[in-house]
Amino acid sequence: MAPDAVEVIGAKRDRQELSDSQIDWVVDAYTRGAVADEQMAALAMAILLNGMSRREIGRWTTAMIASGERMDFSSLSRPTADKHSTGGVGDKITLPLAPLVAACGVAVPQLSGRGLGHTGGTLDKLESIPGWRASLSNDEMLSQLESVGAVVCAAGDGLAPADKKLYALRDVTGTVPAIPLIASSIMSKKIAEGTGALVLDVKVGTGAFMGTVDEARELATTMVALGQDAGVSTVALLTDMSTPLGLTAGNAVEVQESVDVLAGGGPADVVELTLALAREMLAGAGHDDVDPADRLADGSAMDAWRAMISAQGGDPSAPLPTARETHVVPAPSSGTLTRLDALAVGLAAWRLGAGRARKEDAVQAGAGVVWHARPGDVVTEGQPLFTLHTDEPERFDRALEVLEGGYAVGDGSAYTPSPLVIERVG
């Protein structure tokens, strides 16, 4: 007899381990609509509060993969490696990273999403480039991976449809922050995508989903095990997200910063994280004899970027859109910038129009926040500290309000920088 939804919910409610057949049945039945949204919502809350064993998470992930198609890159002439970030403020790393790794001889099949809330989406950033399109067929993707070596595009509906449905449900039922469900959601898509190696960038801090190193380590350890069990060479870096990355948060402003990095410049932290992730991806794909720093220096990463953008209809030479209005926030006093809070900056960028509150909202290509100093930098009273960008000046007040308590200028003698890469798991 097939399991019954109330029996499966009751087992997890009563702190029992779900059996393989219970997990297979409930994920499949939910995807088919035989288990109702209200039943899956109760189960998701029970999983959030009572947890899941490693075995249960693994089986749940496998069941979500089995709900849809799997991609296959074995026909490519080079190995594949992908990166996933759990989401942060100013996190444009995919943009310089994908062409850089491609320039080192490893193909990067990056299926990305759009942003929701205060962390930006990679596709939203790239769509600020005139002509660039996010949707590719599987054949177009494969052909571009062979010719250019890097693709950043929207995930099709065929990959892990169970996850798509469950994610939308978790979003409205307060069941997003459950490590078993976060881990299986991310890993089901990445494993179905068919990458050979995977590097996870697990963010920690105010601007990230995981507020503490312990939570981030648990999530990272869980995901690395899921990847290894599925035959994907997987490692994770825990990286700091108490301070936003680089000097920009938004869409076109982050593309410009990424191009600066590919041109050999850009903020030191963005360069550092891009190289650290590139080295892990190359190692995972068995190409660790190549130093990605050389490919940044010799311009080949920039060549790969231009080819990648062009292949998807974008004009890499066209000027990027700018916002109609800007507003400068000066430094309130002279001293050292001792704190710049990632969540405050992310919310400000969101309120300026760079992000969306609902899936169906549009984003402004030019909107965002640019800051002119990073923690540890000395600033002079009255010098520009932030420039806010938006098409709709009525948005400035609410952005300024959230930015207000998000930074501090003071005596720098006690300031100690925190490391960007906190820990490696794998």
Q: Which stretch binds a second copy (CB under 8 A): 47-55, 115-123, 190-198, 321-329?
A: 47-55
> What's the rounded Cα separation, in Å, for the pair 271 and 353?
27
* 119 DSSP assignment: B
Q: Are 398 and 351 in contact (CB under 8 A)?
A: yes
Q: Residue written as tokens 């596709």?
A: 123
Comparison of 8 and 104: residue with beta carbon closer to a second copy:
8
**Min. distance of Cβ 43 from a second copy in angstroms?**
8
DSSP-derived 3-state class of residue 34: coil
- Angle among Cα 189, 128, 278 to the nearest 5 degrees reads 50
Nearer to a second copy, 168 or 318 (CB): 168
Closer of 164 and 287 to a second copy (Cβ): 164
- Identify which of 166, 158, 195, 205 has the alpha carbon closest to the alpha carbon of residue 183: 166
Nearer to a second copy, 5 or 369 (CB): 5
Q: Is 24 in the site for a second copy (CB under 8 A)?
A: no
Residue span binding a second copy (CB under 8 A) among the ranges 7-15, 91-99, 132-140, 339-347: 7-15
| Distance between CA atoms of residues 275 and 292, nearest Å | 7
For a second copy, the closer CB: 6 or 297: 6
Residues 6+ apart with CB under 8 A from 112: 94, 121, 122, 123, 134, 152, 153, 154, 155
Nearest residue to 54 via CA among 269, 227, 202, 310: 227
State yes or no: residue 296 binds a second copy (CB under 8 A): no
Q: Is 175 in the site for a second copy (CB under 8 A)?
A: yes
- Binding window for a second copy (CB under 8 A); candidates: 63-71, 98-106, 166-174, 413-421: 166-174
Least distance to a second copy from the beta carbon of 124, Å?
A: 23
Determine if 48 is a binding residue for a second copy (CB under 8 A).
yes
Contact 260, 254 (CB under 8 A): no
Rule CB under 8 A: say whether 10 interacts with a second copy: yes
- Selected from 116, 169, 293, 408, the binder of a second copy by CB under 8 A is 169
**Of 23, 27, 29, 45, the one binding a second copy by CB under 8 A:** 45
User: Could you give the CA distance from residue 98 to residue 114 in angstroms, rounded to a whole number?
Assistant: 17
Write the interaction track for a second copy spanning residues 108-147; mark x where CB under 8 A is met and - where it is not: ----------------------------------------
| 50 contacts a second copy (rule: CB under 8 A) | yes
**Strand (E) positions, 220-361?**
233-240, 248-250, 325-330, 335-340
- Please say whether the beta carbons of 156 and 136 come within 8 A: no
In the chain, the N- to C-terminal Cα span, in Å, equals: 41
Residue count, binding to a second copy (CB under 8 A): 24
Q: Does 237 bind a second copy (CB under 8 A)?
A: no
**Helix ranges restricted to H, 51-110:** 54-66, 94-103
Counting contacts by CB under 8 A, is residue 166 touching a second copy? no
Asked whether position 38 contacts a second copy by CB under 8 A, the answer is: yes
> Of the two residues 6 and 268, which places its CB atom closer to a second copy in the complex?
6
Spatial CB neighbours of 21, under 8 Å, sequence gap ≥ 6: 3
Task: List, by residue number, the catalytic residues.
Answer: 84, 163, 170, 185, 189
In the complex with a second copy, the residue whose CB is nearer, 34 or 328, is 34
18, 27, 29, 42: which one binds a second copy (CB under 8 A): 42
Return residues touching a second copy (CB under 8 A): 5-6, 9-10, 13, 36-46, 48-50, 169, 172-175
